Structures are given as C-alpha cells and as structure tokens.
Chains A and B, each alone.
Chain A
Amino acid sequence: MKKVISLMLVVLLMSTALAGCATKETATPEKKKLVFTSRLWSAPEEKEFIINEIIKPYEEANNIDIEFSIATDDEIFDAIKVQQESGNITTDIITAHSGKMPDWTRAGYVMDLTDVVKSWKDRTFFETFKSSTHKDGKQYFLPVGADVYLTLINKKALKYKPEGVDIDHLTWEDYAKWAVNIAKGEGEGKVVITGIPQKSWIYMFGASALSYGAGFPDINSPEAMKAWKIWEKIGDAKGFIPTVANVESSVDPMKREEGWLCVFHNARVGTVYASNETKYIVAPAPSGPKGIGTVAGVSGYAIVKGSKNYEEAVKFLEYLTRPDIQTKIALGTGGFIPPVKEAIEQLGDGAEDEVIKKALMVLEKGVPSGVPAHEYKDWGAVKQIFDDIFVEAINGDKKITQEYLDAKQAQLDALKK
C-alpha cells in the first residue's frame, strides 16, 4: 500500500511539474479574444449581471471570447505598468475611476479615442466629467457609471422626523436634528458612517462641506467649520451607531437595520434599497446654503496602449456605450448614473430608475466635486486626517475649534505635491 501511494505521489508530482512548466494553454485559435479588466461592478450580483446580460449576448453575436475580471484601480494600473514595461500587452480594455484617470493619461498607457467617439452620432456623453476623461483636448476615456451621494432612510426613522421636513428637500440641519431625535427616542444612535480608517468618511463629510460652500478636501475654512458643527451636533448627542468604529461599508449596518440614516454612494444605496424597497426611502443628499454638495466620480473605459486587438476593442466599446446598453447596465447594477444623455431619456418609473433619477438630480443641480487625489502625495494619509478628526472630536471628547482645525489643515497642506 505504502509503495503504491509513494509511486502515485511521485507520478503526480512529476506530471504536475511538467504541466506547471508547460508554456501553452489550450485555446481555440480561430476565436477572437478580448481581455477586459474593470474596477467597476465589483459587487457579485453586479458582476453576474454584466457577464450574463451584457457580455454573453455580445460574445454570441460576434463569435468572440471576452475575459472579464474585476480588480481595484491600483491593481489594474500596476498590472498595465508591468505590461507596458515588459512590452507584453495582454489586457485590451480597462475601466478606471476618474480620480485615477490623470495617472493613466500622464503615464501614456491608454489610447486617444477622440476620432472614434466623433464617429458615433447616436450618443452624447455628459460634459460634467470632461476634465477627467480628456487631456489636452483629446478624449482617452469613455464615461460609464457616474456616482454621487444620496440619502438612505429606514422607514423606522420616520416617527422621529422633525416637524415640517420634506425628505426630498432635506437640509443638513434637518439631518442633524433628525439624528438627535432618534438618539434621544431610541436611547441609541442610528446614523451610519464608515468609521474604519481610510474608507469613505472623507467623502461623507465632503458632501456636507460642499453644501456650505467649502472646497474639497477642506478642513478649516468658515464653510467647512459649519459642516463640522453639524457632525459635532450628531456626535454630542451620541447619534452614531454604537459600532461606528467598526463600519467598513455602510451597506451592512443599513441592511441589518442597525442604522437608519446614512448619506452615501448611490450604487451602494441601490444595493441596500434593492434588498427590500418596502423598508427604505431614497432621497437626494441633504442640502446646505450652496445647494446639494456631493463628491462625484465617474468610471471610464479605455483601450490599453499597444493592445493587439484594437479593432475588436473599439467595436466592443461602441456596444458598451450605446444608450440602450448604458441604460441596461445602469438599471442592472443598482443605481449608477449612465453618463450619456440619450440613455437618461430611456429611464422608466421603477425603483431602480428612481434611484438613478435622484442621483442624476444631485449631479445636475448639486455642487459636485471630483476627487483630487493626484494633487496629494498620499490620498490615504489625507483620508486619515479626516478620520482622526472624527475619532478625536466628532465621536470623541475634543471640541471642534478653529485652532484644532487649523492644525489639521496644516497637516493636510503638508501632503500637497
């Protein structure tokens, strides 16, 4: 028995060693192939939808294999960097976030698509994101899946709503009052923010600061101070959920109904809303004297420089950016805004359409700001400063004073490139 097992192991090891050293994997030579890596649609149900409802029909109609995978912005950039430096280009199409687009264009890893876009007469991309998708008058990225901030309210919170407040025209003062009422009434806070460092708190605060006319990121301006005071009011009333320090994503506590109020990313709002639309209300993000502030972003498709399948990649991008496909993608992936004028016109009156329409309203009428990560040495360190203020002052014992904010602003300025 022992001999048999030993022999089997040796054979297995030898065969796998040889297989491991093999250079070629079997592939059907006549079938074309495209490699598409995206930072968008990372949620499993979104990915499943894209594969089955968007990619598969295209593959069947065009006799092509599309190898689709998800990775983070940094992972995609690093992978393409290796490909560019080694000259072995294996990825054809990427999807990057607007905050990362300047890095791509600066590095010269993506192709100029200006003439390609000009030849498509049936679609008009939003001008809002032109500064990200274009460089020196040339278009490198085709926008998809714009994101803004929305308010998600669990209906259990309605009994604490301040008198005369219109949910669709909520102000930050109303939001704070509402949070305080809930904390008093329930004996526990119900406002959700991402308390784990270097997540989304900077954007949540950014939305409120922009509403008061502050910049982004901005810590110590008089306008930012007003926004800090709103959050301080919630903190003083113990208005945040008790587990706030452990929240990595607002989705989980909102789904668990541990939290009842949250202002966060529209697609993640869509995720929670889709889990039980009879339980939640979606509204635009709260407004301030300057309007509805929001940190807005967009993703964009691009063709990797040196792609061996340029013609096929263009053909596939033509398909992906068609207005009807953009609408289909937006509705199937829980609330991203399709940044194509003709796609918006195709929206209906369903729950997902409602999320998109409210997000669109925020984008069009709000005070949006992009993410100027490329202006700083380390965006993670920038996030950390805002996280520290939350831990020390908003949810801690320190008071929000001008001196305190000035010191934090100095830390922020030191991170500027």
Chain B
Amino acid sequence: MPVNRSVKKLIQKTTFLILIATILFFILTPIFFLTSLSFLSSREAYQFPLPILPSLKSEFVAEKSEKGYLISIYEPSTGEYESILDTNKFEKMSTYFRRELSIYTSPEKLKEILSQLDNGDIEKVHFTMRKSLWHNYKTFFKVTGNAKAALIRSIQTALVTILISLTLGGMAGYAFARFSFKGKEQLRFGILFVRMFPAVTIALPMVILLAKYGFYDRPVGLSLVYSVGSIGLTAWITASIFMGIGIELEEAAQVFGANKLQTFFKITLPLAFPGLAASSMYAFIGAWNDTVSALILTQSKPTFAVVVYKALIGSTGKINLTAAGALTMAFPAVVFTLFIRKYINQMWGGVKV
C-alpha cells in the first residue's frame, strides 16, 4: 500500500513537472528564438535551417578571379565554402561584410589580406574575422531618427498616463468600494464602456480637440487619450482591492485619533498598493506599446513605438533587424514589469513588502 501511494505520488509529480516544462517550453522558445534572431547576421538569418545560436566569427577563403577577388565563406551546416562576393572594390567588400555578415573591417584591412594573392605565389588565402554581435542593434539605432528623445517622450507619456489613471481611477475605485450612492452599479459598468472603443477610433477627433487646447503632438496629449481607457480598468481593479481591505482597520485607526485623510494614506493606501501596481502595469504597457494612436496624435515628436515602427517599415528582407527592434521596444516594459512584480505578487498571496 505505501509503495503504491509513493508510486502514485511520483507519477503525479512527474506529470506535473512535464506539464510545467511543456508550458515553459512554449513560452520561452519564441522569446529565445527572437533573441537569437536579433543577434544573427543578415546572411545567417536567411539560412535553412536557421542557426540556433549566432556565430562569433566567420572563416573565409579568397582567390583571384576575372572580376578581381572571389571570396567564399565557410558554411558550418554543409561543411563547405560558399561564394559570396566577386569584385575588386575594397570599399564594396567592406560594406558587404558589415551589412550582410555583421563584420566590421576596413577596406585597407581587406586590401592587405587579399594583396597576398597579387604576386601569384599563392592561389588561395584563408582568413577569419570576428562578428559584431550588436550590429543589428547598432543599425537599428542608426536608422531610427532621434531614438533617445523619443524614448524619453515614451517614458513621460507612460508615466503621466499612470499618474492620471491612478489618481482618477483610484479615487473612483475607493468611492465604489466605500460609499453607497444612487446609480453606483450602473456607473461601475458604465466606466468600462469606454474600453469598448479602441484608442484609434477616438484618435482622429482627438487630434482636433488636442490641437485646440495646445496638447497636440505632446506627451501629455497622448497620455490624456490613453487614460480614457485606463481609468475605467484602474477603478475596477482598485475597487475590488479596497473592498478586500476591512473597514474595521480604518475604524480602528480613527479610534486611535487618525482623521479620514491620515487613515487613507497610512492604512488603506499601503494595503492597496498591489492593486495600484497592477493597474499601473496595465496603464504603462498600454501607453508604451501603442503605435496606431501615436502615429495619428504625433507629428514632429513621435514616441519610441512610432520611431520603432517607422524604422522597421522597410525591413523587408531584414528579419534580424526587426527582431532587434522588437526586443529594444520590449525591454523597458519588461524592466518595469520586473520592478513592480513583487507588489503584484501580493495580490496572489505572495511575499509581504
């Protein structure tokens, strides 16, 4: 009997672990693939099968040809050399190495290597060159106009969105949780209706409205538009959190001499922090990732999402660069989420802060 029970436990545990491993595999594989892709050279990104990991260096062989020099690259998947370039222009070779192979080498350096073939003593010259792993990221920032300023604008937009959403949504949430008034239920559902309309549907009339008040093409204008959807959701999340905080705690604080404001800021608000953190995460990600509305609502001062989008409009034939752009875009959102993770954990009965 005990043996049977331990076998049963072992089977259950193994099944559970297999399930967790499968879920992790499906979640992590695309992320790993995208990350690996962002470090591949353009040539590697179009090979079949696709390399699992980017190479750190490439081996070449060069020989004299009618046009100048025939350069071939070693292909690990076939174990053979494959021709890539046939020219006598060293400037062109240098550009090709950078664009297609992510190798930074000067025309002079290539000339020096290939000149060994000129006196006819040797037929072939072998050489190895290191790859720049960050080439796609460098290229991405080179072709994104004013990325740094756009990044700052995006952070401003997201944080102002959080500020507006938490202030108004949080107050509404507290009111829903603590007060009874006529039409409370209808209003509670009503504030969610605005979420039925995607931001883009209100973006065009918003252009006229924002321009009228001087907020067009400015982070604060974008924040106002994003807040329309965030306020309702914040109110719902915070209302449920405030409802979960016992009113007895507030009454106890007031018994000990705290006024309503002190009670709210010293007792209720700290306990509601996980809900506020979750709301701010939604607001941040919504504002951070939006491209469509930002395209319409900005002109000379685009957000980072717009800059990324515009940089990648013509990335046809450059999936590695697209991957680099996608990861660059996702990175701040990941950092923000990791930062507030422990607060959200409390909602699920996690560690106390």
Chain B 61-97 against A: per-residue CB contact (8 Å), 1 yes, 0 no? 0000000001000000000000111110100100010
B contact residues around A1 at 8 Å (CB): 353
Q: Identify the B interface with A (CB < 8 A).
A: 42-43, 46-48, 70, 83-87, 89, 92, 96, 99-100, 139-140, 142-143, 145-146, 149, 155-157, 159-160, 162-163, 207, 211, 214, 216, 218-220, 223, 270, 273, 295-296, 299-301, 310-319, 321, 353
Of A44-52, A97-105, A296-304, the segment with at least 4 beta carbons within 8 Å of chain B is A44-52
Taking a contact as CB atoms under 8 Å apart, the answer to whether A256 and B295 are in contact is no
Give A68's nearest chain B residue, CB to CB.
Answer: B145
CB atoms of A43 and B314 under 8 A apart:
yes
Of the candidates B46, B162, B163, the one whose C-beta lies within 8 Å of that of A252 is: B46
Q: A137 at interface (Cβ–Cβ under 8 A)?
A: no
Query: Does A64 have its Cβ within 8 Å of any Cβ on chain B?
Result: no
Which secondary structure characterizes the binding site on chain B?
helix
Asked if A268 and B316 sit within 8 Å, CB to CB, the answer is yes
In Å, the complex CA distance between A19 and B313 comes to: 30
A19 touches B85 (CB 8 A): no
Cβ of A69 under 8 Å from chain B: yes
A350 on the interface (CB 8 Å rule)? yes
Proximity bits, A63-80, B CB within 8 Å = 1, else 0: 000011111100100110
Which of A70, A258, A277 sits near B85, CB closer than 8 Å? A277
Assuming the A-B contacts A48-B143, A256-B46, A271-B317, are A23 and B218 also in contact, with contact meaning beta carbons closer than 8 angstroms in the complex?
Answer: yes
Taking the nearest CB of chain B, how far is it from the CB of A193, in angstroms?
A: 15
**Complex contact A43–B84 (CB within 8 A):** no
Is A84 engaged at the interface, CB distance under 8 Å to the other chain? no
Contact B310 A71 (CB under 8 A): yes
User: A415 near B: Cβ within 8 Å?
Assistant: no
Contacts A2-B353, A44-B321 known; list 5 others, CB within 8 Å: A16-B160, A19-B156, A45-B99, A70-B310, A275-B46
- Chain A interface, >50% SS class: helix
A271 neighbours in B (Cβ, 8 Å): 316-317
The listed residue with most A CB atoms (<10 A of its CB), out of B140, B155, B273, B318, is: B318
**Residues of B contacting A78 in the complex (Cβ-Cβ under 8 angstroms):** 296
4 A-B pairs closest in CB distance: A42-B314, A251-B317, A278-B83, A20-B219
Contacts of A276 in B (CB 8 A): 43, 83-85, 100
Question: Is B316 a contact of A275 with CB atoms below 8 Å?
Answer: no
Please give the distance in Å from B170's CB to the nearest CB on chain A.
13
Bound-state Cα–Cα, A23 to B213, Å: 12
Docked-complex contact A44 and B139, CB < 8 angstroms: yes
Question: How far apart are A348's CB and chain B's nearest CB, in angstroms?
Answer: 10
- Give CA–CA (A13, B283) in the complex, Å: 13
Indicate whether A44 sits within 8 Å of B311 (C-beta atoms), given known contacts A17-B159, A23-B218, A271-B317: yes
Bound complex: CA of A91 vs CA of B283, how far in Å?
A: 32
Given A13-B162, A20-B220, decide whether A67 and B353 contact each other with a Cβ distance below 8 A: no
Question: Within the complex, what minimum Cβ distance (angstroms) separates A335 from chain B?
Answer: 13
Which residues of chain A come closer than 8 Å to B96, judged between CB atoms? 274
Partner of B43, one of A17, A23, A67, A275: A275
- Rounded to whole Å, the gap between the CB of B203 and the closest CB of chain A is 11
CA distance A46 to B321 in the complex (A): 13
